[in-house]
Amino acid sequence: MKRDDIIVVGAGIVGTSTALALQAKGYSVRVLDRKGVAAEASQGNAGAFAFTDIIPLATPGIMRKAPKWLLDPMGPLSVPLAYALKIAPWMLRFWRASWPDRYEAAITAQTSLMGFSRDALERQIVAVEGQGLIRREGQLQLYEGEKEFQASLPDWEVRRKHGVEFTCLEGAEAIAEMQPGLHSRFTHGVFTPGWMSTTDPKVWTEHLAKVFCNRGGVIDTADVQKMEQQGDLVSLQTSDGPIIAQQVVVACGAWSHHLARTVGDHLPLETERGYNTTLPTGGFDLRTQLTFGGHGFVITKIGDGLRVGGAVELGGLKLPPNYKRSEHLLQKAARFIPELDTKGGTQWMGFRPSMPDSLPVIGRSPRAKGVLYAFGHGHLGLTQSAGTAELIAALADGASPEISIEAYAPTRF
């Protein structure tokens, strides 16, 4: 029977980053993934390190919009009718998370993790010599008219109070100086200079995996079906047979709660299904990431091409993809950027693991002392990956994390 110091379940960006951080502490680490490195959400996201994105999805009063989620399948946030009943218990927790007390606490916790993750990413970039895979071009959030812009200002004030730097732009000319080619309907913008991105999230994750393997780490393709605490060890039942380790980190994204249940932990994880279209080289001269907040999507550089995608569809893991959502976003992008060449794109849909309060699960299982959890980051997995990795490495080492992790504890539910 194979035995390792630590097994990380999941070879996405969170799992791979965690494996590297554990390896740096001297542990023998094996990563297991049913499909391989960056085979799920980590390959198709927008590639942004969205450290300014501290506002939870569950904002005060958001449930008043719930009927529209069911009736508008192309909206920025939707719930397919076929999934509405199944997601109801999660939606109740989501509603509770939107109450002012929980909302304010979530912002504080998110801000703390964002700041720590930003610093951890800088350390990670240096450690893996990854500077050539990082872009520092900021992000421009766009608004259609004075009313939409004014409605956004309370959220920007929250960000200001928590140390987020930004510059407001007014008028088509001011916007065009930063990003030419946009439709004149966009009259206001907010530029966040601290926004970072990777040239390609799949390439970035693969780079980290290569560094991990070059330093003696092992990544195997295997489906982990069950965990069990056996004395001081954790036993895993996998498609390749049983494996034991001193500790196990569960970082398999939208599938993590299924594995957590095998040790008796029932965590309310749901799936944000994200859609996008990646366009080939030459589609448009994009100078910074563009965010169309009122429409729930972004346009960002990926390699030499562009990726148009986003929105939230709370639809679980089993419903078939609705690629009309990708087409809808691309059509909007073409209206917003008249010069955009939308031919030759590749569509994609991925599963983003989402908790009701928009905070990840980072901590040790209350029922299996050798199991650590690192999942539930929603659309912020890439952003918070390096920070999560350092927090988990500290826990695995028996040390106190550099920031409080109480808000991310698996016992909070």
The pLDDT tens digits along the chain (413 residues) read 566 799 999 999 999 999 999 999 999 999 999 999 999 999 999 999 999 999 999 999 988 887 887 778 888 889 998 999 999 999 999 999 999 999 999 999 999 999 999 999 999 999 999 999 999 999 999 999 999 999 999 999 999 999 999 999 999 999 999 999 999 999 999 999 989 999 999 999 999 999 999 999 999 999 999 999 999 999 999 999 999 999 999 999 999 999 999 999 999 999 999 999 999 988 799 999 999 988 989 999 999 999 999 888 999 999 999 999 999 999 999 999 999 999 999 999 999 999 999 999 999 999 999 999 999 999 999 999 999 999 999 999 999 999 999 999 999 99
Residue 7: which residues within 8 A CB-CB, separation 6 or more?
29, 30, 31, 32, 234, 236, 243, 245, 247, 248, 249
CB count in 10 Å sphere of residue 232 = 9
Query: In angstroms, rounded to a whole number, what is the distance separating the alpha carbons of residues 165 and 159?
Result: 8
pTM: 0.96
Query: In angstroms, rounded to a whole number, what is the distance separating the alpha carbons of residues 354 and 381?
Result: 10
The fourth-level CATH superfamily of domain 1-60+98-134+196-268+355-413 is FAD/NAD(P)-binding domain (3.50.50.60)
Helices (H) and strands (E) in the chain, counts: 11, 20
191 forms bridges with which residues in the sheet? 140, 167
Per DSSP (E only), the strands in 293-396 are 297-302, 305-314, 346-354, 361-364, 371-375
Residue 93: which residues within 8 A CB-CB, separation 6 or more?
268, 356, 357, 413
Inter-residue contact 115 to 368 (CB < 8 Å): no
274 forms bridges with which residues in the sheet? 350
Q: How far is CA 395 from the centre of its chain?
A: 22
367-401 confidence digits (pLDDT tens): 999 999 999 999 999 999 999 999 999 999 999 99
Query: In angstroms, rounded to a whole number, what is the distance separating the alpha carbons of residues 211 and 206?
Result: 9
- Give kind and range of the element (H or E) at residue 16: helix 13-24
